[in-house]
Amino acid sequence: MFGWSARSAPRRIPSDEVIPAFALDDTSANRGIMLNWTLHFDAVLDAEKLRSSLEALLRTGDWRKIGGRLRLDAGGKLEIHVPTIFTTERPAFRYRHTSYDIKLSEHPIVSRIPVATANPWSRPILTNFAEPDVTDLDELLYSDLPQLGLHVLSFTDATLVDLIWPHTMSDAMGCHDLLKNWCHVLAGREDQVRPFLGYRTDPLETMLALSETDCEPWALRDLVLSGVGVVIFAIRFLIGILWHPSTEQRIIFFPERTVTNLRQRATAELDAGTFLSDGDVLTAWCTRVATADSKRPVSAMNVVEMRSRAPAGVFDLGGAYVQNLVFPAFTTFRGGVVHEAPMGEMALAIRRSLAAQVAPGQVAAAARTMAQRTGRQGEGKQPPVVGDPSAQLVVFSNWMKGKFFEVADFGPAVAKGGDGSSSGTGRPVYMQVMMLGKTSLAVRNVFNFLGKDAAGNVWANAVLTSAVWRRVDAELAVLGYAST
């Protein structure tokens, strides 16, 4: 009557193989996030070699699942429709190549790409240099576009490689497997490509069966918010959004010297021989800065991958699992403790709580809890939140274990080094991850440690309010002064 019409999915292709999305992939949070990962290479890369090698990988065995199309079944659950063969009309991934006959430093936007320096800092994440071709899951559901997008931007002295995928496709370590095996094909090492596992059968089901058999309870089960506690937490969270409706995604740069000094200062506050990782110390520092304006309790949540931590026999570590296989691990602090306790004690508390929660039995128990509350078993409920209902939640995702600055080895595609030579390392000098989609609008107090570059510097993404960013910048200036 008014010219309105409901959006409809494209016609089904009878030859497509239909695979239901797995439990931890099809969650309400994942549906609302698209991830845009940009890698900066200080060399000219052959875009066609990048394209053809990725295509060859996705034509290999069960790797073709990544080339599937997303659909909803009659009950609103997510499905993956995988073409029998990929063609020009129905490719394995979306591809664009933009070539600029200028140096990167001459581009009005990309010239502002962050570079390593002697002191720590935060900078706005690089945006508007390449319009994303997909920014929301609906654009995939109501089209015949594949999940993964690759955009190569070429300059006369550098290359940007831009990847976009829905969070329903994979977590960070799944994309680590994708990147590593892509590099194998690029280098002509097809014999080293790992088999794609978890094509139709979710390995999580094996772990759920194990957890039911072992019946080990989740150690945090009594701290999970429920009933009135959930309502109080939700109200406080919504009030925070109303008071600070806008957030900003920025990059934080921690020079190697700054990280080393921070870790040494923290360990000096503890008994001799006590070990703290860079991740422990940076998590403690970020937690303190993010919550400095409040005396409320704090819940620090770490997103932990379960592939390498699950009970024996659940995952074949000789294969690749491109899916979401993570669970939340929490460290809770009473009101005021975050600002009063020495940094070393905070970092040690985080380390000890994580160690207790990543034991194989606890991983199985956490996976069971997650599956019961989210995705297909949980009818789209949110993951559990642990701690005091009035607590501030700070979320961390640590990619340093993935060593992405090393794994992303595009050396075989180097056509010309950034200085005009015919050689180059083919490894990224900078990377960033930007969140797109509906859920990203409500995300805040989130830190993502992307990894260490070749010089040992740590790069991180964060989504914070402007007030928190002002504190971050002030504390980074103090760190820089202390490191001189």
Catalytic residue ranges:
167
**Cα 157 from Cα 261, distance rounded (Å):** 35
CB 310 within 8 A of CB 173: no
Please tell me what DSSP assigns to residue 190: G
Residue type, 381: K
Strand order from edge to edge, sheet including 69-72: 17-20, 78-82, 69-72
Nearest one of 475, 4, 47 to 262, comparing CA atoms: 475
CA 195 → CA 268, 350, 409, distances in Å?
Answer: 45, 35, 20
- Please answer whether residues 432 and 249 qualify as being in contact, where contact means their C-beta atoms are separated by less than 8 angstroms: no
H-state helical runs in 215-319: 228-243, 256-267, 278-290
Other Cβ atoms within 10 Å of 253 Cβ, number:
21
End-to-end Cα distance, the chain: 70
Among 383, 393, 386, 374, residue whose Cα is nearest residue 237: 393
Angle, vertex CA 37, rays to CA 31 and CA 42, nearest 5: 175
Query: Who contacts 224 (Cβ-Cβ below 8 Å, separation ≥6)?
Result: 369, 384, 385, 386
Say if CB 451 and CB 403 are below 8 A apart. yes
Produce one character per residue of 32-46: b if its CB has 16 or more CB atoms within 10 Å, e if not.
bbbbbbbbbbbbbbb
